[in-house]
Amino acid sequence: MAEYVLLGALLCALALALGSGVAWAVVVWLFEFDWLPDWPRILGVLGAGVGLVMALAIGGSLGLLRSRPAQVLREL
Amino acid sequence: MTNTASPVIAASALTLSLSSGEARVEILRGIDLAVLPGEKLALLGPSGSGKSSLLAILSGLEQASGGTLHVAGADFTTLDEDGLAAARRGRIGIVLQAFHLLPTMTALENVATPLELAGMADAMARAEAELVAVGLGHRLNHYPAQLSGGEQQRVAIARALAPRPAILFADEPTGNLDHANGDAVADLLFARADEVGATFIMVTHDEALAARCGRIVRLADGRIVSDGGPGVAA
Amino acid sequence: MNLSRGAAWTLARRGLDWRFKGLRLLLVCLVLGTAALSAIGTLTGAIERELATRGREMLGADVEFTLAARTPAREERAAIAALGDVSEGARLQAMASVPGEQTRTTPIELKAVDAKWPLYGRFTLSDGTVARAPAGLTAWIAPGVADRLGVKVGDSLKVGEAVLKVGGVIGSEPDRMAEGFSLGPTVIVGTAALDASRLVQPGSMVRSKLRVKLPPGADPVALGDGIKERFPLAGYEVRTREKASPGLDRFVSRMGQFLVLVALAALAIAGIGIGNGVNSYLEARRSSIATLKILGASSGDIARIFLLQLAAASSLAILAGLVVGISVTPLLGRALQGLLPIEPGFVFDAGALAIAAAYGALIALTFAAPPLVRARSFPAMALMRARVSPLAGGWRGAVLPVALGLGGIAALAVLTAPQKLLAAGFLGGAAALFLLLSALGWGVQRLAAKVPRPKGAIARMALANLHRPGAQTSALVVALGFGLSAFVLLAGVQTSLDGNIAQRVPNKAPDYFVLDLPRSRVGEFDAIVRAAAPGAEIRKVPALRGSIVAYGPQGAMTRVADLKQLPDNAWPLRGDRGLTYADEVPQGNVLTAGTWWAKDYAGEPLVSVDDDLGKALDLKLGDRIAVSILGVERSAKIASFRRIDWENMGFNYVLVFSPNAIADAPHNLAATVSLPEGAKTPEVRRAILGGLVKALPSSSVIESGRCWGRRARSWARWARRSLRRRALRCFRGWRCWPARSLRRANARPMTMSSCACWGRAAGSFWYC
């Protein structure tokens, strides 16, 4: 799991940079407003997104984690 | 059956080598083999001797690395994957150890599939007749998961023979079955191959099973070490 | 020989698990994506159509001529009357109070109409009675007036100097949408009541309206232009039924487009899910594929069989998505009803549904193609060997379908977008993001393979997990990177809109805005304010209205009427705007070029111009600007350029003249009052409001704290709603703000905020 946490952190940083860039373009160019982001809320959304993915991923692998080694070996 | 006809399988200097990373593994090292129409041949040998690989090449599932191979009039060494599939269609039947039925299809649909792939019009009727012939007339609409191992292998035999192939290949056909079921399936296999008139080539560990064939070819380390010749082991 | 279509379908059907095991990810992604696209497309289309078809009713006319600060001259009126049936009216800010009770006052939007109003649509009272202009001194009042003043039908209401009788409460006002933002709820009166109020005086901020019902077949645009050409100095603002609400129209289309792009981004993310779903579906069927090959199926047959399966599942998913999309549209419509002109009920927009279905199909094709092409090359031998590692290569065959799919998506997005460049830019950005993330995934995988093996077994396994054959690193980086970026994008846009609307303004806003303060009553005004709050800061500026008619070097001036298209950022050239004159540089302004005129300057008329406008029109010091005030053209030499701090919430004017240039035109003043912190008590407020309303009945006093408070609460409600709904709500009455905000050079926040709150009348202060 550790490798994916590291990867997730890297992706968060990237998403923050890229998403903000595009959002800036949408706000300034499309809507022609000022760029006034609320960073705590954006970080909150990002955190919630990562949390959701983690929850789904862990939920999805629960079966795998619960399975007994002997059973898996028999099925190979 | 006559032994004067031209061979249905003619292999000469067949080699197979597979690369695994940097290393190359020589699996077959020059196989010469001629099989006449209607012959029953067993390929015997220890694990890793290359018998399953030889069967794969002869049945067109794999291409040889070298040598020439003519099967049922087609030059297998010049055909690509799709060409081999076309050459197999309707001419070659294959029965595998693990049955390999299509799980989402009923027994009837499984047997009809090769007929449909070969573009035969009355696929369902012929499939039904074939299943009745292997004693599964009452299990037509059962799914593989609803059938016993022996029943599944019977469906596989019906599927392989439904298109009336010129050649029937079997790879350890009784390997996944208990003794009683294995014997029953072997009896059925030989009987149906006879009725259809197909040349029969079987890979097995089982000396007793091999002995039921008219010819036994023994392999070791990728080479033919003995060829019983027609009638020797009858 | 290839498998016939019928046989392929037979095999595909048999191979399909009708509980869609293994394909559920694909189904969910496609259903949601298609549903979102179809709902957005249907709703946007419905609103746009409604705006177009209801333009006449919304405007209450085929063509409408609006004039600021004066009534039409006789020949103008005659020329307009010749076009068709004319209904004349006026609109202005005013204060309404309960006679004899100084503290029960509220700002209102006074709308005077004549007997012919409404030319189109039906005006009804809250009890369902169909009515027209109220007779004599009767008034129809909006429910807001009744609430705020506590008056009911039959009670009296004082507006200006007139005491009116409440004849009924407004139920539905057909041309409400086109009236734009108002500072207070509406009070509708007849012309006799308007005259009795004595609110219309020379220089007062009245907007006269001439609404025309044209004979069938007449072209409103051509006739409107004709009047403008005939009276170029009159300063008419012409609106036609086609553009009843251009700001709203533009907003709906932009918002719709933005949402389509958001939905596309979501669908692209879903596409990654679809690709992964198809991949694992086919991996799970590897054994079946090999079996089929053993039985004689060619790779083409395999592709055809599984393509049919995926097509069947995708078609069902797309169909379900369309049904969901159609089903949620009435719910959205109901939620937005009253805010926007949408008819409730099911809308079946074949075009929007076809586009949504096409997007769904193209996305499914694009993302399913690579695993499908790979599946073709599963060798039959896979069965003969125990396990085969995931197949590398095989991507070349996928290039054509993927390119076709992506090309189709791009073409569809660009062709159906009103702003093709923007859509193309968005797609380019998405593609660049995709490439960047793919490269990153590849880089991470390579890096993990290159770094020295750690000693710990767990760390070693973790590292190996990133680069082992079949590792999902790249797919994970792309999918998660895309998804998280989209989250940040939406959050950034949403919070920025919130920020623009809510954050900055209240701290800087004065406590009172006073419109139409007669110059002769300034002493009284000051006395009332100072008596109630001695430390109050009062600012007063002359408030005139006029339009720019020409600009440029003397002798070679450009006539605005001759311009086919306004230069970029030259929004002040459009329509009439506020003008002022001053002795000193206005507060918060900085001279960037030239000099300010001396006090009591009496030479050639001079003007100081907003730096941004100067740049937009390429003006130089010494060039001239001509404006039309009350139908009289006045020209002045440019003496300086100023940079305006649009955020200072004060009076900001694009053009500030030397007093001798325009002070002789009839006009009133506008004023702001900022109370010291200690004086912001209900008693002080009551004293100021009551005193001003009583002493200056023709002036409008707007208490900004009240307005902000109300707006702030409504914004807090917005924050809980979706981006779309919020933004649409924003446009209900405040149609003016996009139009105005877009006029500005650098999208300064003041524009939107002030306009959102103060609307077109008061907003003119900020944008003058």
Query: pLDDT tens digits for C507-560?
Result: 456 778 787 888 888 899 999 999 988 888 888 889 888 888 899 999 899 988
Name the H helices within C378-508: 396-415, 420-450, 457-467, 473-498, 505-508
- Which residues in chain B land under pLDDT 50? 1-2, 230-234
Written as six digits, the tokens of C607 are 């003007």
- Name the domain boundary from C243, C269, C295: C243
Q: Kindly indicate the confidence band of residue C337, based on its pLDDT and cuts at 50, 70 and 90.
A: low
Is the per-residue pLDDT at C388 higher than 50?
A: no
- How far is residue C8's CA from residue C622's CA, in Å, rounded to a whole number? 82
pLDDT of residue B58: 93
Same domain? For C228 and C315 the reply is no
Same domain? For C108 and C134 the reply is yes
Say if residue C153 is exposed, middle or buried (CB neighbours under 10 Å; 0-12, 13-18, 19+): middle
Contact C14 B81 (CB under 8 A): no
Report which secondary-structure segment, H or E, holds B215: strand B215-220
- How far is residue C768's CA from residue C764's CA, in Å, rounded to a whole number? 5
DSSP string, C94-152: EEEEETTEEEEEEEEEEEEE-TT--SSS-EEETTS-EE-SPPTTEEEE-HHHHHHHT--
The 3-state DSSP class for residue C32 equals helix
Stronger pLDDT, C504 or C590, i.e. the higher one: C590
To the nearest whole percent, how much of chain C has pLDDT over 70? Answer: 79
Nearest-by-Cβ selection for A3 from C433, C466, C480: C466
Is the per-residue pLDDT at C11 higher than 80?
A: yes
Beta-sheet strands, E only, within C143-223: 156-159, 162-172, 186-190, 207-213
Out of 1.10.287.180, 3.40.190.10, 3.40.1030.10, 3.40.50.300, the CATH code matching B38-66+80-227 is: 3.40.50.300
Dihedral sign, Cα of residue C742, residue C744, residue C748, residue C750: negative
- How far is residue B113's CA from residue B120's CA, in Å, rounded to a whole number? 10
From residue C271, give the alpha-carbon distance in Å to each of C303, C445, C463, C615: 20, 22, 28, 47
By the CB < 8 Å criterion, does B65 face chain C? no
Q: With beta carbons under 8 A apart, name residues in chain B contacting C10.
A: 116
Report which secondary-structure segment, H or E, holds B66: strand B66-71
Angle among Cα C235, C236, C239 to the nearest 5 degrees reads 145
Written as six digits, the tokens of A31 are 């809507």
- How far is residue C86's CA from residue C91's CA, in Å, rounded to a whole number? 16
By the CB < 8 Å criterion, does A11 face chain C? yes
Same domain? For C283 and C213 the reply is no
Domains of chain A: total: 1
**Residue C335 within any structural domain of the chain:** yes
**Residue C759 within any structural domain of the chain:** no
Q: At B211, phi and psi to the nearest 5?
A: -65, -20
Contact C488 A26 (CB under 8 A): no
Q: At B3, phi and psi to the nearest 5?
A: -105, 10
Same domain? For C421 and C487 the reply is yes
Beta-sheet strands, E only, within C537-629: 537-552, 558-559, 577-581, 589-594, 606-610, 624-629
Other Cβ atoms closer than 10 A to C181: 21
- Chains A and C are touching, with contact defined as 3 or more CB–CB pairs separated by less than 8 Å: yes
Q: Supply the range of the domain harboring residue A24.
A: 2-75
Is the per-residue pLDDT at C409 higher than 90?
A: no
By the CB < 8 Å criterion, does B101 face chain C? yes
Q: At A42, phi and psi to the nearest 5?
A: -65, -45
Is the per-residue pLDDT at C319 higher than 90?
A: yes
The 3-state DSSP class for residue C187 equals strand
From residue C551, give the alpha-carbon distance in Å to each of B158, C390, C570, C597, C611: 94, 72, 12, 20, 14
CA atoms within 13 A on the CB side of C493: 24
Tell which residue, C634, C637, C631, C642, has the closest CA to residue C601: C637
Contact C490 A33 (CB under 8 A): no
Q: Supply the range of the domain harboring residue C354.
A: 5-54+248-499
Span A8-30, pLDDT tens digits: 888 889 889 988 988 888 777 77
Residues 474-503 on C with a CB inside 8 Å of A are 476-477, 480-481, 483-493, 495-500, 503
- How far is residue C322's CA from residue C32's CA, in Å, rounded to a whole number? 9
Compute the nearest-CA separation of C480 from chain A (Å): 7
Angle among Cα B212, B214, B218 to the nearest 5 degrees reads 90
Q: Kindly indicate the confidence band of residue C340, based on its pLDDT and cuts at 50, 70 and 90.
A: low
Same domain? For C488 and C616 the reply is no
**Residue C755 within any structural domain of the chain:** no
By the CB < 8 Å criterion, does C558 face chain B? no
Compute the nearest-CA separation of B91 from chain C (Å): 9
Same domain? For C613 and C520 the reply is yes
**Amino acid symbol at C587:** Q
Q: Kindly indicate the confidence band of residue C252, based on its pLDDT and cuts at 50, 70 and 90.
A: low
Report which secondary-structure segment, H or E, holds C379: none
Compute the nearest-CA separation of A9 from chain C (Å): 10
Residues 732-761 on C with a CB inside 8 Å of A are 738, 741-742, 744, 747-749, 752
Q: What is the mean pLDDT of residues C427-442?
A: 84
Report which secondary-structure segment, H or E, holds B200: strand B199-204
By the CB < 8 Å criterion, does C299 face chain B? yes
- How far is residue C388's CA from residue B38's CA, in Å, rounded to a whole number? 35
Provide the mean pLDDT of chain C.
77
- C-beta separation of C3 from B82 below 8 A: no
Q: With beta carbons under 8 A apart, name residues in chain C contacting A1.
A: 462
Span C726-762, pLDDT tens digits: 333 333 323 223 323 333 322 222 222 233 333 222 2
- How far is residue C628's CA from residue B155's CA, in Å, rounded to a whole number? 96
pLDDT of residue C250: 58
- How far is residue C446's CA from residue C640's CA, in Å, rounded to a whole number? 62
Residue C451 gets the label, from left (phi > 0), alpha (psi -120 to 50) or beta, of: beta
Residues 29-58 on A with a CB inside 8 Å of C are 29-38, 41-42, 44-46, 48-50, 53
Looking at chain B, the number of H-run helices and the number of E-run strands are 7, 10
Stronger pLDDT, C376 or C610, i.e. the higher one: C610
pLDDT of residue B151: 93
Tell which residue, C434, C359, C302, has the closest CA to residue C35: C359
Partner chains of B (3+ C-beta pairs under 8 Å):
C
Report which secondary-structure segment, H or E, holds B26: strand B23-35
Tell which residue, B223, B215, B234, has the closest CA to residue B46: B223
From residue C497, give the alpha-carbon distance in Å to each of A36, C43, C753: 7, 22, 10
**Residue C482 within any structural domain of the chain:** yes
Stronger pLDDT, B53 or C21, i.e. the higher one: B53
Residues forming beta bridges with residue C672, ordered by sequence position: C513, C539
From residue C55, give the alpha-carbon distance in Å to each of C59, C63, C113, C216, C425: 6, 10, 20, 16, 32
Compute the nearest-CA separation of A53 from chain C (Å): 8
- How far is residue B204's CA from residue B222's CA, in Å, rounded to a whole number? 16
Nearest-by-Cβ selection for B113 from C287, C295, C380: C295
Q: Kindly indicate the confidence band of residue C180, based on its pLDDT and cuts at 50, 70 and 90.
A: low
By the CB < 8 Å criterion, does B122 face chain C? no
**Residue C747 within any structural domain of the chain:** no
Other Cβ atoms closer than 10 A to C21: 11
- How far is residue B202's CA from residue B213's CA, in Å, rounded to a whole number? 9
Same domain? For C153 and C29 the reply is no
Domains of chain C: total: 3
Q: With beta carbons under 8 A apart, name residues in chain C contacting A36.
A: 495-496, 498-500, 503-504, 749
The 3-state DSSP class for residue C63 equals strand
- Strand B9-20: give its sheet, edge to edge: B23-35, B9-20, B66-71, B74-75
Q: What is the mean pLDDT of residues C273-295?
A: 83
Same domain? For C522 and C657 the reply is yes
Is the per-residue pLDDT at C51 higher than 90?
A: no
Helical pair C457-467 and C420-450, crossing angle rounded to 10 deg: 140
Same domain? For C80 and C141 the reply is yes
Partner chains of C (3+ C-beta pairs under 8 Å):
A, B
- How far is residue C421's CA from residue C283's CA, in Å, rounded to a whole number? 40
Tell which residue, C17, C374, C11, C303, has the closest CA to residue B118: C11
Same domain? For C298 and C269 the reply is yes
Test mutation, A1, A4, A5, A7, chain C, max C CBs within 10 A: A7
Span A31-58, pLDDT tens digits: 666 788 889 989 998 888 888 877 877 7
For residue C118, cis peptide bond before it (omega within 30 degrees of 0): yes
Other Cβ atoms closer than 10 A to C96: 25
Tell which residue, B57, B73, B59, has the closest CA to residue B18: B57
- How far is residue A20's CA from residue A34's CA, in Å, rounded to a whole number? 13
By the CB < 8 Å criterion, does C25 face chain A? no
Q: Kindly indicate the confidence band of residue C502, based on its pLDDT and cuts at 50, 70 and 90.
A: low
Contact A50 C499 (CB under 8 A): no
pLDDT of residue A75: 46
Written as six digits, the tokens of C554 are 């003397």
- C-beta separation of C748 from A35 below 8 A: no
Angle among Cα C310, C315, C318 to the nearest 5 degrees reads 120
The 3-state DSSP class for residue C190 equals strand
Nearest-by-Cβ selection for A33 from C422, C489, C500: C500
